[in-house]
Structures are given as C-alpha cells and as structure tokens.
C-alpha cells in the first residue's frame, strides 16, 4: 500500500517538474501513468487530442481481457478515469520538441511551456498512412475517409470502397456493413492478411466483394468522390470503379516527427527499444504503436507501458 495521498500532487496546476513525463495518452501512456504512481512516483501524461488515442476510432474492442466486447470510446474513458482516480496528472497540449540531457528530460509544449522529468516515456502512437495517390488530398473529407466510426454515418445505404486487407481494414469494413449498401475491398496483395475469423465474419454479411492485386492510382470526382482508378499489379491493367465513398486503411505511420535527430529512429520512423522498453538513450522509453515491434494491439501497448514504468522506477529512482 502506498503511504501518501495519491491525489496530492495532481491538483497543483503550477507544477512543471515531475518524476516521469509521458508523451501520449493512449493505452500505453495511461498504463505507464498508473504503474508509475504505484511505484510511488509523480507522473504527468501529455495528450494533444482525446485520451485513449486511436482506441476512440474503434467501434468495438473484442479482445480486451475481461470483456466480451466494449466500445473503443468507452474503454478509453474507463482507462483515463482509472488513471485520474489514481492521481495521474493529464495535460492537454502538443509536444513540439524535446531536450534529452542525461539527468533531465524536457518536453516543450506548443504553448511554450516546458515540462521536466527525470524519465521520459514516449507513447505518441501512430496515424493512418496515406495512399499518396492522385486526388487523395483533394477529396479528403469529400468522400475519402480514414475512420469508419467517425464518418460511416455519412454513407448510409451507399456503395463504397475499402482500401486495404489487414485487420484494421476488415474490422472497419465489418462496422461499415451495418450502414452501407455494398462494399468493395481493394487489396494490393493477392490475398487478405487479416485474421481468418474476421475474414469469415465480413464475408458472411453478404455485402462484400473483393478485388486483389490492385493499387489505387487515382481518386476522381466533382465536388465529391465518384470514381476510383485502380491498377492491377499483375497485368498492368487499369480499371475504373464507380463509388460513393472511399475508406483507406493501409497501415500506420508513427508520430515521431518531433523526435527527429533527438533519438534513433528506424527507416520507417519507429523508435527502437529493448525488452524493457528503454531506448539507446538512458531514461527514455518507447511504448505502444510508436515502438518498433511486430504486434500492435491495445493489450500489447498496455503491457509496454507497465514494463517501461516498472523498469524506470527500479533503475532511476
């Protein structure tokens, strides 16, 4: 049992120095905050958007232990509330730069304020990767979307295209089958990479067709998307598809631009860390989707956060 008031330090809004500075309030960052408090330390979580990160864009989470299914926004809220009840301080701001001196780490916010700590845990997650096809940026918000939960209701009873064949693409497509009339999945490979159970669930809806070995060459329309030009990578044949909307789920890009030249990143921009989540820079940890690893799930992000916080508490305090 911790022998101090867990909330005592979280109520002082003028505090600029903490034991542990956590950048990013997704499942990894929130869990790191909870475990840091359990270790008797003072953490702060800095989140530029909504607490929970990309969990908020997931309609249903069905593989979180202890729940058959839970809405992503609900799970986000429960995690954040848990941390706040423990006394974890949250700051709503964007980190635009960091200073990584040996004995002190500093997160510089978009309002110019500096948040200092002995340990820095980076949990900034990732964002949807763009197709970088002609017309994509022109039609963002005009028929091109990257979030079924956010925008699905705009496409009620319409015929749409989902680009991508992994778990995220098919999970979002499954959600969209409850709203739209028909979905055509366009996948760049000759097969789907999503879990077999998810593939079956989607096919069983009877609302989905598939086009394989094809990439998006151009997105066309007037004021709103109405056509997609795809290129078959095996035959080099182009094909025009009529559509009333396009949802893109082709992977993720890490949110690490502000860390360039600060800590080592791999060629894809992800942070390299060891099994304790510590990077090659002492006192700097990376957890969740921003870290270079094979499996990116809510449960693995939470595990990363627990490991990083526990290791940092033992090593640096």
Instruction: For residue 147, indicate whether it is catalytic.
Output: yes
End-to-end CA distance of the chain: 18
**What are the Cα distances from residue 136, in Å, to 25, 203, 216?**
29, 28, 10
Helix-then-strand count for the chain, H and E: 6, 19
Selected catalytic residue, list 81, 150, 204, 209: 150
Distance CA 293, CA 300 (A): 10
Query: Which one, of 309, 311, 297, lies nearest residue 75 by Cα?
Result: 297
DSSP H or E segment with residue 238: strand 238-242
Instruction: For residue 151, indicate whether it is catalytic.
Output: yes
Query: Which one, of 315, 316, 290, 260, lies nearest residue 23 by Cα?
Result: 290
Of the CA atoms within 13 Å of residue 138, those in its CB half-sphere come to 12
Structure tokens at 153: 């209701």
Query: Which one, of 38, 35, 41, 4, lies nearest residue 19 by Cα?
Result: 41
Query: Strand 105-109 to strand 114-122: parallel, antiparallel, or no bridges (unpaired)?
Result: antiparallel
DSSP H or E segment with residue 200: helix 196-203
Distance CA 194, CA 165 (A): 6
8 A C-beta contact, residue 69 and residue 24: no
8 A C-beta contact, residue 317 and residue 118: yes
Instruction: For residue 81, indicate whether it is catalytic.
Output: no
Count Cβ atoms below 10 Å from residue 205 Cβ, excluding itself.
13
Query: Which residues carry out catalysis?
Result: 147, 150-151
């Amino acid at each position: 049992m911790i022998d101090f008031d867990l909330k005592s330090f979280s109520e002082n809004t003028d505090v600029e120095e903490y034991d542990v500075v956590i950048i990013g309030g997704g499942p990894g960052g929130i869990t790191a905050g909870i475990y840091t408090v359990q270790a008797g330390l003072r953490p702060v979580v800095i989140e530029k958007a909504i607490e929970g990160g990309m969990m908020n864009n997931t309609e249903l989470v069905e593989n979180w232990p202890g729940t058959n299914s839970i809405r992503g926004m609900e799970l986000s809220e429960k995690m954040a509330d848990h941390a706040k009840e423990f006394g974890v301080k949250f700051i709503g701001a964007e980190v635009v730069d960091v200073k990584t001196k040996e004995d002190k780490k500093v997160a510089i916010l978009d309002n110019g304020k500096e948040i200092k700590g002995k340990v820095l845990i980076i949990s900034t997650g990732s964002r949807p990767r763009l197709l970088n096809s002609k017309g994509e940026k022109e039609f963002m918000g005009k028929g091109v979307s990257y979030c079924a939960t956010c925008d699905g209701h705009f496409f009620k009873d319409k015929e749409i295209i989902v680009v991508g064949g992994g778990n995220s693409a098919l999970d979002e497509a499954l959600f969209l089958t409850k709203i739209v009339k028909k979905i055509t999945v366009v996948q760049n490979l000759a097969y789907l990479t999503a879990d077999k159970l998810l593939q079956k669930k989607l096919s069983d809806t009877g609302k989905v067709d598939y086009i394989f070995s094809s990439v998006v060459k151009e997105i066309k329309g007037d004021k709103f998307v109405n056509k997609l030009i795809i290129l078959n990578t095996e035959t080099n044949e182009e094909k025009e598809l009529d559509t009333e909307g396009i949802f893109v789920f082709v992977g993720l890009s890490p949110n690490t631009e502000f860390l360039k030249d600060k800590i080592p990143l791999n060629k894809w921009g992800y942070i390299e860390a060891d099994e304790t989540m510590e990077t090659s820079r002492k006192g700097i940890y990376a957890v969740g989707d921003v870290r270079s690893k094979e499996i990116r799930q809510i449960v693995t992000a939470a595990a990363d956060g627990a490991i990083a916080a526990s290791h940092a508490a033992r090593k640096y305090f």
